[in-house]
Chains A and B, each alone.
Chain A
Amino acid sequence: MREGGASPPCFTMNSTVKQSEITTRYHLPGDFAIWVFIFAELLVFGVFFLSYAFYRASHVEMFNMYQDTLDRESGAINTLLLITSSYFVVRAVSAIKSGDARRCVNWLAAALAGGGGFLVIKSLEFADKFSHGISLGTNTFYMFYLSMTFFHFMHVILGMIILAAVLFKARAGGYSAEEYTGVETGASYWHMVDLVWIVLFPLVYVIR
């Protein structure tokens, strides 16, 4: 910037070069179709989050009271698990970009393990709530809590199925340093699953 400020023509040239670099480097990762799907999914969760926020605004006391019954520790551990798992798929993508399919497979397996850990902890949390007789009909807070976390739970499973499909194809040599769109597609979806949880956890478990 400073350089550009000193001599305008140079700045212009530099910025053109950078622009073309940007367009080649920042292509849309993965298949275009998965992005349509991701935005549609985010829209569904977004409507859920907004409904939660609007309803909570007029029932703050009740929401705060029942929020205290949620297990924040397991929620926090699950957040770490998903973020770590997301990091692993990033490593899987960079591994396949350098042509190392074996390392890609290993990172994907690690990411799947992270997702599996999430499912186990979340199941224990659900089991605890159900054993206390809590259901969708208990009250509106639990309705939101159960339906949003369950809906997200199903997305973790779907994300894991997608990652597993990518893993098997990678192991069979289906991807290379030149052709790795499928890995990016799976990774993009997995990041969406992670992103939704990163909003969901503070919104439902923490913010008051």
Chain B
Amino acid sequence: MKYQSQSVAKLYFIAAIGLFIGQILFGVTIGLQYVWGDFLFPYIPFNVARMVHTNLLIVWLLFGFMGASYYLVPEESERELYAPWLAKLMFWIFLIAGALTILGYLLVPYAGLAQLTMNDLLPTMGREFLEQPTITKVGIVIVALAFLFNIGMTVLTGRKTVVTIVLLTGLAGLAVFFLFAFYNPVNVVMDKYFWWWVVHLWVEGVWELIMASILAFVLIKITGVDREVIEKWLYIIIAMTLITGIIGTGHHYFWIGTPGYWQWFGSIFSALEPIPFFMMTLFAFNMVNRRRREHPNKVATLWALGTAVMAFLGAGVWGFLHTLAPVNYYTHGTQITAAHGHMAFYGAYVMIVLTIISYAMPIMRGRTANGPKSQVMEMWSFWLMTVSMVFITLFLTGAGILQVYLQRYSDTPLGFMVVQDKIELFYWLREIAGLVFLVGLIVYVMSFFTKHDDEVTA
């Protein structure tokens, strides 16, 4: 670790992993509730557990992005963090606010939570993924602004690199687009229209910039390839991300009451959204093949290559599968969407955060890389989680194809619940894969606690 203040990242990473565990526990719970409807009823109903599952994901990824920024920005900017105390303060505020929100979801009925947090003063609750009480949303904005200020001042007063500029652009976009969470038009078309400005422009826009810059940083460090080469790739990737991703928002506007031309815009631009992800795959493998040094942290390299491949498959290929309007006419809102969502989030964002944790955590704990025993264990967790996620995706895709056919395409379409009964087998298989994922996660956490008598301290 070159700068003392980088160590605040450790707090963020530990919290991220903690919340990740929570997310997966709720994930296997709702997976079971798919086939055993009143499991844990009435204590944790499906809608609440699902909300906790998705909200925890978003929050822990944000912790991961912030940790990644606090770690890589001082090193890139060649100076200490502008205000390490602010980073620590914001950590606790964010963690406590997040924990209170989750407890609110679990302990108070949602309508009661809305009343308790005075939602009617500025109504923002009740929208998927943005269920947080208004007060929590205000808290998120404050944390995001303080974080941006801290990172921004460090970047602007230090050495400016393409990596930090792209990262800062992504983070600024993240904060700006979140503001649409406060815009809650009465017209339900407009409401959905702008809801996507948060949801889509995050995950298919600015988050991709954050992902690409973190990946570039890790690749610079582990491969030793010239910064100029890596920066050139980064430029092309973000250009393609923005060209395809911004108007690609249109693939959510097919059937919500927007003008018909969105079917063309959405189909054409989003059909090209796999390109930046494919470029990221080429980029990662190219850089690793052209490496100038053998970094002892093998498992970080594995995560970096893994995220590039899985992001392309999950976000690129599985996204393309149902992005064309004539296809989406049948697949909209089926298990195909769930399949895509799982692999895209895991491949692109979970894995990029685990990549930077894998690279930075040993350094923050005083060694270049973990010892072989710990690395092998982490590699096991990589394969367990990644392969089980592939199976979760395949089972959900199978369920989705059957669902589309039986419920929407066949000559004698069946009702929703009848179809759900018929595809139950896929949900059981998905649940088994989910449990294997949980095992992988446990192995991952254990890899942090292996004895380090054989650690590498080059």
Q: CB within 8 Å of B: which residues of A?
A: 31-33, 36-37, 40-41, 43-44, 47-48, 51, 136-137, 140, 143-144, 147
Chain B residues numbered 211-244 whose CB sits less than 8 Å from any CB in chain A: 232-233, 235-236, 239-240, 243-244
Q: Residue B264 at the A interface, CB < 8 A?
A: yes
- Which of B232, B235, B261, B275 touches A136 (beta carbons < 8 Å)? B261
19 more A-B residue pairs beyond the given contacts A40-B239, A41-B243, A44-B269, with a C-beta to C-beta distance below 8 A: A33-B233, A36-B279, A37-B239, A37-B240, A40-B236, A40-B272, A40-B275, A43-B272, A43-B275, A44-B244, A44-B272, A48-B268, A51-B267, A137-B260, A143-B260, A143-B261, A143-B264, A147-B264, A147-B265
Mask: chain B, 263-282; 1 = CB below 8 Å from A; 0 = not:
01101110110010001000
Q: Which residue of A lies closest to B244 (CB)?
A: A44
20 sample A-B contacts, Cβ–Cβ < 8 Å, listed by A number: A32-B232, A33-B232, A33-B235, A37-B236, A37-B240, A40-B236, A40-B240, A43-B275, A44-B243, A44-B268, A44-B272, A47-B272, A48-B268, A136-B261, A137-B261, A143-B261, A144-B264, A147-B261, A147-B264, A147-B265
Chain B residues numbered 182-231 whose CB sits less than 8 Å from any CB in chain A: none
Main secondary structure of the interface of A (DSSP, over half): helix
Q: Which residue of A lies closest to B282 (CB)?
A: A36
- Give the chain B neighbours of A44 by CB distance below 8 A: 243-244, 268-269, 272
Q: Which residue of B lies closest to A40 (CB)?
A: B240
- For residue B237, give the distance in angstroms from its CB to the closest CB of chain A: 10
- Give the chain B neighbours of A137 by CB distance below 8 A: 259-261
Task: State whether A51 touches B268 (Cβ < 8 A).
Answer: yes
- Give the chain B neighbours of A31 by CB distance below 8 A: 232
- Give the chain B neighbours of A47 by CB distance below 8 A: 268, 271-272
Interface residue tally for chain B (C-beta within 8 Å): 20
- Rounded to whole angstroms, the CA-CA distance of A37 and B241 in the bound complex is 12
Q: What 4 pairs between A and B have smallest CB-CB spacing? A: A143-B261, A33-B232, A136-B261, A137-B259
- Give the chain A neighbours of B240 by CB distance below 8 A: 37, 40
Q: CB within 8 Å of A: which residues of B?
A: 232-233, 235-236, 239-240, 243-244, 259-261, 264-265, 267-269, 271-272, 275, 279
- Give the chain B neighbours of A48 by CB distance below 8 A: 268
- Rounded to whole angstroms, the CA-CA distance of A160 and B279 in the bound complex is 26
- For residue A31, give the distance in angstroms from its CB to the closest CB of chain B: 8
- A-B contacts, CB under 8 A, total: 45
- Rounded to whole angstroms, the CA-CA distance of A51 and B264 in the bound complex is 9
- For residue A43, give the distance in angstroms from its CB to the closest CB of chain B: 7
Main secondary structure of the interface of B (DSSP, over half): helix
- Give the chain A neighbours of B264 by CB distance below 8 A: 51, 140, 143-144, 147
- Give the chain A neighbours of B233 by CB distance below 8 A: 33
Task: State whether B243 touches A36 (Cβ < 8 A).
Answer: no
- Give the chain A neighbours of B265 by CB distance below 8 A: 147
- Give the chain B neighbours of A33 by CB distance below 8 A: 232-233, 235-236
- For residue B279, give the distance in angstroms from its CB to the closest CB of chain A: 8
- For residue A71, give the distance in angstroms from its CB to the closest CB of chain B: 22
- For residue A184, give the distance in angstroms from its CB to the closest CB of chain B: 16
- Rounded to whole angstroms, the CA-CA distance of A179 and B115 in the bound complex is 68
- Rounded to whole angstroms, the CA-CA distance of A37 and B265 in the bound complex is 20
- Give the chain A neighbours of B279 by CB distance below 8 A: 36
- Give the chain B neighbours of A36 by CB distance below 8 A: 236, 279
- Give the chain B neighbours of A143 by CB distance below 8 A: 260-261, 264
- For residue A73, give the distance in angstroms from its CB to the closest CB of chain B: 27
- Rounded to whole angstroms, the CA-CA distance of A68 and B232 in the bound complex is 45
- Rounded to whole angstroms, the CA-CA distance of A32 and B279 in the bound complex is 14
- For residue B116, give the distance in angstroms from its CB to the closest CB of chain A: 44
- For residue B346, give the distance in angstroms from its CB to the closest CB of chain A: 26
- For residue B243, give the distance in angstroms from its CB to the closest CB of chain A: 7
- Rounded to whole angstroms, the CA-CA distance of A147 and B240 in the bound complex is 18
- Rounded to whole angstroms, the CA-CA distance of A41 and B243 in the bound complex is 9
- Give the chain B neighbours of A32 by CB distance below 8 A: 232
- Rounded to whole angstroms, the CA-CA distance of A51 and B232 in the bound complex is 32
- Rounded to whole angstroms, the CA-CA distance of A32 and B243 in the bound complex is 19
- Rounded to whole angstroms, the CA-CA distance of A44 and B264 in the bound complex is 13
- Give the chain A neighbours of B236 by CB distance below 8 A: 33, 36-37, 40
- Rounded to whole angstroms, the CA-CA distance of A45 and B11 in the bound complex is 47
- Rounded to whole angstroms, the CA-CA distance of A43 and B267 in the bound complex is 14
- For residue A37, give the distance in angstroms from its CB to the closest CB of chain B: 6
- For residue B201, give the distance in angstroms from its CB to the closest CB of chain A: 19
- For residue A41, give the distance in angstroms from its CB to the closest CB of chain B: 8
- For residue A129, give the distance in angstroms from its CB to the closest CB of chain B: 15
Q: Which residue of B lies closest to A36 (CB)?
A: B236
Q: Which residue of B lies closest to A138 (CB)?
A: B261
- Give the chain A neighbours of B244 by CB distance below 8 A: 44
- Rounded to whole angstroms, the CA-CA distance of A51 and B259 in the bound complex is 18
- For residue A127, give the distance in angstroms from its CB to the closest CB of chain B: 20
- For residue A190, give the distance in angstroms from its CB to the closest CB of chain B: 17
- For residue A98, give the distance in angstroms from its CB to the closest CB of chain B: 28
- For residue B137, give the distance in angstroms from its CB to the closest CB of chain A: 33
- For residue A33, give the distance in angstroms from its CB to the closest CB of chain B: 5
